[in-house]
Amino acid sequence: MSSINERQWVSEAINALQREAERSADTHLLHMTFAGFPGIDFYLKDEAAHPTGSLKHRLARSLFLYALCNGRLRPGQPVVDASSGSTAISEAWFARLLGLQFTAVMPDNTAPGKIEAVRALGGHCDLIPVGRCTQERAREIAAAGGCFLDQFGLAERATDWRGNNNIAESIIGQMSREPHPHPAWVVCGVGTGGTSATIGRYLRYRGLPTQLCVAEPEGMVYAKAWPARDRSAHVGCFSLIEGIGRQNVEPSFQFGVVDEVIEVPDADSIAAMLLLEELLGFRYGGSSGTNLVACLRLATRMREAGRTGSIVTLLCDRGARYRETLYDPDWLASRGIDPTPRKQALQRQLQGG
């Protein structure tokens, strides 16, 4: 293909992504209050409402745009990325939109619902044993002429941190008429680190006093790495909470914009995830539960200090993806997890008992 035709294709591909963004609505910011936390308003940004069911919809669109604008993605080129699932689903969806072949490299214990979703969108899944490096494998596949989207390396760069309707600008805009429009805290998990980087930068850019808290599965890397800003930190354990709970510090993670890391045991995340279904009537994934637990920890501190204000967090993905895992009582029992007592404890907290 001549370079004129190639530029024409790139321009049409970018146009297709911009049209998709134009057709998409903003995600809801759901408001909740609880008797146990008087004067504290909770807001949940429903990122499961994107067409591909998670906050990775924003990231996938940005990664394709970034690859195209950098001249790294050419007509007919297959695309590949390493993903625990949610990014793969969104990338498969955008690859189909652009008529490109897509391969997702993921660990072979990824929730079956996610693997099915990638395949249903025409994507190919390259499943490798848990513990092997998915990013290395993706790089290997791309070396044969593909485009490596590289979510872990590029998430923080591919997103426009000063605005352009990024997640932070959207949240702060939606808060503008609320009683406490400047949140005391924004709480999010860290997978690539792209979301926390975008939110943290934007809060500074706008001159807001809001602090950023990372909700981290207990024992995973960011709790260990963050205090000393140790990029080489590593942990040997695994978390049941997909999308977050990394073993290594990913290159997109920005230590400097994070004010606190709160560790949450997996069983508490799962209990909070089940509680979200009762509160909202829809199922969300495990990392949304992790976020809720961290919010309640911060809210308790605010209440004890006699403070009022608002706390914002994210509902990261839909629960349907975890039907065979986190939402299956037998699956939980076989891992020694009984969420019921933890859920009751959370309910008591909300009621102020």
Q: CB-wise, 103 or 196, nearer to ligand PLP?
A: 196
159 binds ligand PLP (CB under 6 A): no
Give the Å distances, CA to CA, from 144 to 47, 134, 162, 246.
34, 16, 36, 28
Q: CB-wise, 59 or 100, nearer to ligand PLP?
A: 59
Q: CB-wise, 245 or 339, nearer to ligand PLP?
A: 245
Rounded to whole angstroms, how far apart are CA atoms 94 and 98? 6
Rounded to whole angstroms, how far apart are CA atoms 149 and 103? 11
- Min separation Cβ 113 and ligand PLP, Å: 12
Phi-psi category of residue 163: left, alpha or beta, with phi > 0 → left and psi -120 to 50 → alpha? left
Q: CB-wise, 37 or 94, nearer to ligand PLP?
A: 94
Whether the Cβ atoms of residue 237 and residue 219 lie closer than 8 Å to each other: yes
Span of 26-34, 68-76, 102-110, 190-198 interacting with ligand PLP by CB under 6 A: 190-198
Report the site for ligand PLP in 34-63 (rule: CB under 6 A): 54, 56
Rounded to whole angstroms, how far apart are CA atoms 339 and 333? 9
Span of 105-113, 173-181, 193-201, 224-232 interacting with ligand PLP by CB under 6 A: 193-201
Span of 187-195, 228-236, 323-331, 333-341 interacting with ligand PLP by CB under 6 A: 187-195
Q: CB-wise, 190 or 302, nearer to ligand PLP?
A: 190
194 binds ligand PLP (CB under 6 A): yes
Q: CB-wise, 13 or 325, nearer to ligand PLP?
A: 325
190 binds ligand PLP (CB under 6 A): yes
83 binds ligand PLP (CB under 6 A): no
Q: Residue written as tokens 């072979």?
A: 108
CA 75 to chain centre: 29
150 binds ligand PLP (CB under 6 A): no
- With CB under 6 A as the contact rule, the residue among 113, 243, 289, 319 that binds ligand PLP is 243
107 binds ligand PLP (CB under 6 A): no
Span of 191-199, 202-210, 218-226, 326-334 interacting with ligand PLP by CB under 6 A: 191-199
What tokens does 261 get?
A: 């890391």
The count of other CB atoms within 10 Å of the CB of residue 34 is 17
189 binds ligand PLP (CB under 6 A): yes
Give the Å distances, CA to CA, from 6 to 2, 9, 60, 62, 149.
6, 5, 22, 20, 19
Report the site for ligand PLP in 313-352 (rule: CB under 6 A): 316-317
Span of 8-16, 73-81, 184-192, 258-266 interacting with ligand PLP by CB under 6 A: 184-192
- With CB under 6 A as the contact rule, the residue among 60, 244, 261, 271 that binds ligand PLP is 244
Whether the Cβ atoms of residue 280 and residue 348 lie closer than 8 Å to each other: no
- Min separation Cβ 83 and ligand PLP, Å: 9
Q: Which residues bind ligand PLP (CB under 6 A)?
A: 54, 56, 86, 155, 189-196, 243-244, 285, 287, 316-317
